[in-house]
C-alpha cells in the first residue's frame, strides 16, 4: 500500500504546489508585464519632446547669442543627447525583454567580427589601444539578427577600450567549442573585482563610478548585451583579474548554424 500511497501523495502535493505556484505567480507576471509596457510606452513618448528640445537648442546656437547664452544652450544640447541615449537604451531593454527573436537570417560571424573591429580601429575610443582579431579557418554561419548581435559585441568592444589604459591590448576572438560558437573579447585593462563581477550584467550597475568618471556610461551596456545574447538562446559570461584584464565570452548555440 505504502509503495502506492507515497508516490500518489507526493504527486498530489506536487500538482497542488504547481497549481498554487501558478496562481501565485500570475499577479507577479502581470505587474511585471505592466511595468515593462510602461517603460516601453514612457520611453517612446519621451522621444518626440526630447527631439523638439534638441532641435530648438541647436537652432538657438545658430542665432546671435552672448557667450553665457551659448554655454547654456550647449549644456542643453549635451544633456538632451545623453537623455536620448538613455531613453533609447531603456526602450530597447523593454522591447526585447524575454523575447526569442523570430527574424533571424544566416550571418557570417567572421565577416561581422572583422567589420566591427576594423570600424572600431578607426574610432577615437580605440586610438590608445592595440586592437586585433583572430578568426577560425573556416567560416561560421549561424542564424541571427546581425544588427543586434553587432550591438552586443560592440558594447563589449567599447568597454574593453574604455577600461584599458594606453598601449593595452584588446583582442576579439571567434572559435567553436562543443555545441557553441564563442565570441570572446579580452583586454589587458583595469579589471573587475571579484565582488563586482556577479553584478555587472545588472541594469544601471557601474563599478565605482568614481574610479572611472571620464568613461561616462549608464551601466546599461552589458545588460543590453546580455539581453541580445539571451534572445539568441545564448549565454554571456565574464572573468577578470584586477590590474591584469578581463575576458567576456558570448556563447551562441551552433544548432542555429544555417
Ligand atoms: P557602462 O556604461 O558603465 O560601461 P556597462 O553595463 O557596459 O556600463 O558595464 C558595467 C560596469 O562593468 C562598468 O561600469 C565597468 O565598471 C565594468 N566593466 C565592463 N566592462 C569592463 C571591462 N572590459 N574592464 C573593466 N571593467 C568593465
Cα separations in angstroms, 249 against 8, 30, 134, 162, 222: 45, 33, 14, 18, 12
Can you give the pLDDT at residue 126?
93
**Who's near 123: CB < 8 A, 6+ residues apart?**
none
Can you give the pLDDT at residue 150?
94
* Residue 30: pLDDT band with limits 50, 70, 90: confident
Alpha-carbon distance of 158 to 76, in angstroms, equals 26
Q: Whose CA is nearest to atom 2 of ligand 1?
A: 217
CA-based nearest residue to 174, from 230, 250, 237:
250
Which three-class secondary structure state does DSSP give residue 185? strand
Alpha-carbon distance of 49 to 24, in angstroms, equals 40
Rounded distance from Cα 1 to ligand 1 centre (Å): 60
Range 14-31 average pLDDT: 70
Is pLDDT at 53 greater than 50 in this prediction?
A: yes
Give residue for cell 598601449.
167
Rounded distance from Cα 211 to ligand 1 centre (Å): 11
Percent above pLDDT 90 for the chain: 59
C-alpha angle 186/151/87, rounded to 5°? 120
* pLDDT tens-place string over residues 223-257: 999 999 999 999 999 999 999 999 999 999 987 54
Range 204-209 average pLDDT: 82
**Who's near 166: CB < 8 A, 6+ residues apart?**
128, 129
The separation between the first and the last C-alpha atoms of the chain, rounded to the nearest angstrom, is: 54
Rounded distance from Cα 41 to ligand 1 centre (Å): 28
Global pTM value:
0.80
* pLDDT tens-place string over residues 93-125: 887 777 777 778 999 999 999 999 999 999 999
Rounded distance from Cα 151 to ligand 1 centre (Å): 15
Strands 180-187 and 235-241: unpaired
* pLDDT tens-place string over residues 156-174: 999 999 999 999 999 999 9
Q: Whose CA is nearest to atom 14 of ligand 1?
A: 206
Name the residue of 82, 193, 200 to mutate for ligand 1: max ligand atoms within 8 A of Cβ.
200
Residues 248 and 185: beta-carbon distance below 8 Å: yes
Residues 119, 124, 228, 199: is their CA dihedral positive or negative? positive
Amino acid at each position: 500500500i505504502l509503495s502506492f500511497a507515497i508516490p500518489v501523495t507526493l504527486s498530489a502535493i506536487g500538482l497542488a504546489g504547481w497549481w498554487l505556484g501558478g496562481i501565485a505567480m500570475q499577479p507577479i507576471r502581470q505587474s511585471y508585464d505592466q511595468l515593462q509596457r510602461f517603460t516601453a510606452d514612457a520611453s517612446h513618448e519621451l522621444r518626440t519632446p526630447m527631439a523638439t528640445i534638441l532641435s530648438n537648442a541647436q537652432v538657438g546656437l545658430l542665432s546671435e547669442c552672448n557667450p553665457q547664452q551659448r554655454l547654456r544652450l550647449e549644456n542643453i544640447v549635451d544633456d538632451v543627447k545623453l537623455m536620448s541615449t538613455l531613453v533609447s537604451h531603456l526602450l530597447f531593454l523593454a522591447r526585447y525583454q524575454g523575447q526569442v527573436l523570430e527574424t533571424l537570417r544566416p550571418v557570417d560571424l567572421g565577416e561581422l567580427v572583422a567589420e566591427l573591429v576594423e570600424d572600431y580601429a578607426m574610432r577615437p575610443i580605440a586610438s590608445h589601444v592595440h586592437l586585433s582579431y583572430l578568426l577560425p579557418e573556416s567560416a561560421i554561419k549561424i542564424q541571427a539578427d546581425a544588427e543586434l548581435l553587432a550591438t552586443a559585441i560592440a558594447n563589449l568592444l567599447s568597454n574593453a577600450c574604455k577600461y584599458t589604459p594606453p598601449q593595452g591590448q584588446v583582442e576579439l576572438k571567434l572559435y567553436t567549442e562543443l555545441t557553441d560558437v564563442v565570441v570572446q573579447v579580452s583586454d589587458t585593462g583595469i579589471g573587475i573585482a571579484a565582488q563586482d563581477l556577479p553584478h555587472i550584467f545588472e541594469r544601471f550597475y557601474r563599478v565605482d563610478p568614481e574610479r572611472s568618471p571620464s568613461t561616462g556610461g549608464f551601466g546599461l551596456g552589458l545588460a543590453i548585451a546580455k539581453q541580445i545574447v539571451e534572445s539568441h538562446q545564448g549565454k554571456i559570461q565574464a572573468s577578470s583579474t584586477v590590474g591584469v584584464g578581463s575576458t567576456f565570452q558570448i556563447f551562441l548555440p551552433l544548432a542555429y548554424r544555417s
